[in-house]
Amino acid sequence: MQITAAFVREKNGPFTLEPLELDPPSEGEILVRIAACGICRADLSVRDQYYPTPLPVVLGHEGAGVVEAVGKGVKTVSV
């Protein structure tokens, strides 16, 4: 599935929205269609490498959306 992700490619670099291929959910995972996502101070700290993280990296972990699919074994969340 084709998605759009917020990439950072270099230390202190800009956030760029780029296409990415996403696999279906694996065992224990869910797929959420994101309606909104925030960039917070933790994301900025990763971008600026205060928290050393391999680059490039996809950031933005404060999302809200709708569950589209569930992987095998998921019992507490449903579509």
SS3 content of the chain, % helix, strand, coil (to 5): 10, 45, 50
Domain residue limits, the chain: 2-70
41 three-class SS: helix
Res 17 pLDDT > 90: yes
Percentage above 70 pLDDT, the chain: 100
CATH topology of domain 2-70: Quinone Oxidoreductase; Chain A, domain 1 (3.90.180)
25-46, pLDDT tens digit by residue? 999 999 999 999 888 999 999 9
Token reading at 79: 């579509």
The rounded distance, in Å, linking the Cα atoms of 46 and 55 is 9
**Band of residue 74 on the pLDDT scale cut at 50, 70, 90:** very high
**Band of residue 61 on the pLDDT scale cut at 50, 70, 90:** confident
